[in-house]
Amino acid sequence: MKKVFFVLLTICMTILSFGQTFEDNKKSADQGNAIAQYNLGLMYLVGEGTLKDNNQAFYWIKKSADQGNSSAQYNLGILYSFGLGTLKDYKQAFHWYEKSADQGEADAQYSLGMLYHFGLGTLKDYKKAMYWYEKSAEQGVAEAQYNLGLMYYYGQGTLKDYGKAAYWIRKSYENGYDEAKKAWSDLELYNY
């Protein structure tokens, strides 16, 4: 969860580094520019250049997502997952993560895998969870690599495969995910 908010904060800082002010984004957003709508939503979300307002953040990010912006679709999934600016709704989160994941957004693919894994907003389906974790893991998302490794280890959605479990857990640890180091040791994956 911390990663999600860190991603949002990083995006906002990137926006600011390009010199786009709140007023610049508001003007372009009002004219229908999907990127400006997304940027404006993020600015409302963190209170950059304006007062923090989750309702306005949701409004502008949704306008951008409706135009097909995959980053906005992913972040709209986050807003639905946490009930920011809207009611918490895992079915809607699932819908928006799926739209973004289908466009190749690695973090959306990971999030979609999580919803399938735990049956949030959809039926629990380990095979589909594995599919989306793998898509995300191949793009370097450490949390997806970790979860994929655990699914191989425990045989969730697949046959147990300790070699593949070791491979993905090691990749996750190499990508900085601390839980993977603990799993590497606790599950004795160094033997594979």
What CATH number does the domain containing 128 carry? 1.25.40.10
The span from the CA of 149 to the CA of 39, in Å, is 35
Residue 128 lies in a domain: yes
Under DSSP, the state recorded for 160 is -
**Same domain assignment for residues 139 and 190:** yes
**Same domain assignment for residues 184 and 137:** yes
DSSP string for 31-86: TT-HHHHHHHHHHHHHTSSS---HHHHHHHHHHHHHTT-HHHHHHHHHHHHHTSSS
**Same domain assignment for residues 122 and 85:** no
Q: Is the pLDDT of residue 8 over 70?
A: no
Q: Tell me the pLDDT tens digit for each residue of 49-87.
A: 999 999 999 999 999 999 999 999 999 999 999 999 999
DSSP H or E stretch at residue 153: helix 142-154
Q: Domain span at residue 160?
A: 104-192
> Which domain-ending residue is among 89, 117, 132?
89
pLDDT confidence of residue 20:
77
Question: 3-state DSSP call for residue 154?
Answer: helix
Q: Tell me the pLDDT tens digit for each residue of 118-133.
A: 999 999 999 999 999 9
**Same domain assignment for residues 70 and 25:** yes
Cβ neighbors of 120 (< 8 A, separation 6 or more) are 90, 93, 94, 114
Q: What is the mean pLDDT of the chain?
A: 92
**Same domain assignment for residues 150 and 181:** yes
| Number of folded domains that form the chain | 2
Q: Tell me the pLDDT tens digit for each residue of 10-53.
A: 555 454 535 678 999 999 999 999 999 999 999 999 999 999 99
